[in-house]
Homo-oligomer: A and B are copies of this chain.
């Protein structure tokens, strides 16, 4: 039938794509469950028992909307990270906050800068809001901070995305390096610092400066806190930026149970420390397992390790062979990291099973 009900020019121009193929989609393709789910950097250690108890209690109030201001959680976060509540916004994980930031700051046709092969959901949002992406190659398997700043200058970029610790490399920059990056940024560029893996890093990095208009920090309960399925994270920015977000964000987007769980998780420091210890141990085990097979593991400060297979062909073969055995890991999508596989730190038993699977695939 003749019809003028078309999507916008922008949406009509976009290719059909998704940021990630999910583990559930892989299971449907194989027609069988995965044996080891080590490809999405989910926590093998679950949420804290206190968070679970809080969520179990709050389930009974599932018929009530969550507080759109996430007041209690923001209040607790303000104390926890030491910034005013007015500098905090809560969203459905960093994915949501990235979309919100792109929407709020990027005009159609403006540039954003990221590393080539970095987190694809940022790129997805840039395209989805009509922005252009300048992708800067990794150098020495790390983000090339100087080249990123240079690209931002050349492109008059409005946004620069940097994950620290980085995904998929696991590499990490300290406060001094980030400070220098900030000083190299042009006046119009806002730095999005994705700190999804911050808890796993050797130090807390750049101090939070909620009054610094050059910066938006993003953090999540999806990784160290083991609550990816609850979809909850937060951003720290200037009060002016938070107020801008409030004018357009989905106010009733974050779940009630998620908020209760995050609040409780924040107060279980002991559990978190245990997770961090176990993840550090797991990284060492993966590095040792790689080494025993004549492979090199990239140094990681996150909850995953990238293992260098030497060539994109070999890493693809290995990922496919692992998947055929029900072992889900990821292969970074862009050179030079596509020569690697990225494996999430599992439980001790999962780590052993992964090492065996990798060994038998390589033989």
Which residues does A use to contact B, with CB under 8 Å?
A: 1-9, 11-12, 14-20, 22-25, 28, 37, 40, 42-47, 51-52, 55-56, 58-69, 71, 92-93, 95-96, 99, 103-107, 121, 124, 128, 158, 187-190, 213-214, 222, 226-231, 241, 243-244, 246-248, 250-258, 261
Contacts and interface: CB of A to CB of B under 8 A. Distances in A.
24 contacts: A3-B214, A4-B188, A5-B188, A8-B103, A15-B247, A16-B247, A18-B246, A19-B251, A19-B252, A25-B67, A43-B63, A46-B60, A61-B229, A63-B229, A65-B228, A66-B231, A92-B253, A96-B253, A229-B255, A230-B255, A230-B256, A230-B257, A231-B252, A255-B258
Contact of A24 (B45, B63, B71): B71
B252 A14 contact: no
A253 B18 CA distance: 13
B128 A248 contact: yes
A18 B243 CA distance: 11
A46 B24 contact: no
Contacts of A188: 4-5
Nearest to A253: B92
A229 B63 CA distance: 6
A328 to B, nearest CB: 11
Contact of A244 (B11, B64, B241): B11
B63 A42 contact: yes
A124 B67 CA distance: 18
Contact of A255 (B14, B25, B255): B255
A3 B250 contact: no
A318 B56 CA distance: 37
A270 to B, nearest CB: 18
Given A7-B104, A253-B95, A63 B226 contact: yes
Contact of A104 (B3, B11, B158, B253): B11
Contacts of A63: 42-47, 226-229
Contact of A248 (B14, B55, B107, B241): B14
Contacts of A107: 8-9
A2 to B, nearest CB: 7
8 tightest CB-CB pairs across the interface, nearest first? A229-B256, A63-B226, A24-B67, A128-B248, A4-B188, A14-B247, A43-B63, A7-B244
A5 B65 contact: no
Contacts of A47: 62-63
A62, A71, A250: which has the most chain B beta carbons within 10 Å? A62
Contacts of A19: 251-252
Contacts of A3: 187, 213-214
